[in-house]
Amino acid sequence: MTTLRLGDTAPDFEQDSSIGKIRFYDYLGDSWGVLFSHPADFTPVCTTELGYTAIVSGEFAKRNVKVIAVSVDDAESHKKWIEDINDTQNTKVDFPILADQDRKVSTLYDMIHPNASATATVRSVFIIDPAKKIRLTLTYPASTGRNFNEILRVIDSLQLTDSHSVATPVNWEDGDDVIIVPSLKDEAVLKEKFPKGYTAVRPYLRITPQPNK
């Protein structure tokens, strides 16, 4: 099995879920995707993560992102767990949780790390673009809940930098100034692309207002 890296094509699969059979590529369609794994059902940290993801589901939808979770328990267990999540987190989970009893998805995406656990998945996150390319991978230990605001922030950065010749600096948030990519040097092109102007702190560090704001 090969570890998936940035720029690799995300593997397609068909698997049961809390809402029935899902073929991954069909589910994503032309959307971006976030695939994230959970060590097991009815675990406390996961319950808070899935609850918060449901709470901010509108933020993912605004960015044309479909969310899909995976856990090694079966679909019936997932359905019961969703009831608990909705009750304890005061929300409504409206995205599927893959039932990965046979570890097919966990193996495809290298979500089981034997030195951490031989059976449970680590907390992996994959951001996948509409071309089915992997754009981000994150791996957390089972004991640490993920920051889904950070995942939304990265999606904002990816979508912005895909459509404009910029990169986002440290701690950037949507609406902050950005950096013009060093490869762009033609002054006429710079004036056309960045009519608000820019500040050259150094020849390689040029700051400009976010171009789509």
Positions annotated as catalytic residues are 46
Cα 16 from chain centroid (whole Å): 21
* Residue located via tokens 């762009």: 184
- Contact, 179 vs 206, CB < 8 A? yes
- Give bridge partners of residue 137 from the DSSP assignment: 126
Strands 32-38 and 166-167: unpaired
Would you call 47 helix, strand, or coil by DSSP?
A: helix
Residue 84 is encoded by which pair of tokens?
A: 């608990």
Helical (H) or strand (E) element with 3: none
Q: In 3D, which of 62, 58, 4 has the Cα closest to residue 35?
A: 4
Cβ neighbours of residue 165 under 8 Å, at least 6 residues apart?
A: 180, 181, 183, 184, 193
